[in-house]
Amino acid sequence: MRGGKRPGAGRPKRSVNRATAERETRIRESGPVPLDVMIEAMRWHHDRAKAEFAKGAEMDANIVRDEYALASEHAVRAAPYVHPRFASIQQTPTDYNFDRLTDNELRHLERLLSKAAAAPNDADPTQH
């Protein structure tokens, strides 16, 4: 009998068990799922706002505003299911020991950093 963790053992990541797969299939086959409804409502309100806006001088600005607001609400609710979230990036500052650099190396580093920080239209600070 083997013990411990083995590479490749166990259920593959993101795999769905049979009961979950069957439930999801039944839901899809029974009609639109909540995400479908949210997207359809978003598009319907968006189309109404565009149609009202297309009337030009005769448009009702309140209708345009309200329809865009409703479309935006549906978009916000649907977005997490459609677009992935970007992971937060944890940046940890690096501690540099500048005492180990010579005066010449420090001057060179200062020139490089000031050149890198200069805007594209700024003159090159190393050119005199």
Angstrom distance (rounded) from CA 29 to CA 42: 22
pLDDT in tens, 17-42: 888 889 888 888 898 888 999 999 99
Contact 42/75 with Cβ under 8 angstroms?
Answer: yes
pLDDT in tens, 62-100: 999 999 999 999 999 999 988 887 776 666 777 888 888
* Tokens 């549906």 belong to residue: 74
Angstrom distance (rounded) from CA 65 to CA 50: 10
* Residue range 92-109: mean pLDDT, rounded: 86
Q: Specify the pLDDT at position 2.
A: 62
Q: Specify the pLDDT at position 97.
A: 84
pTM for the model stands at 0.53
Residue 1: is its pLDDT beyond 90? no
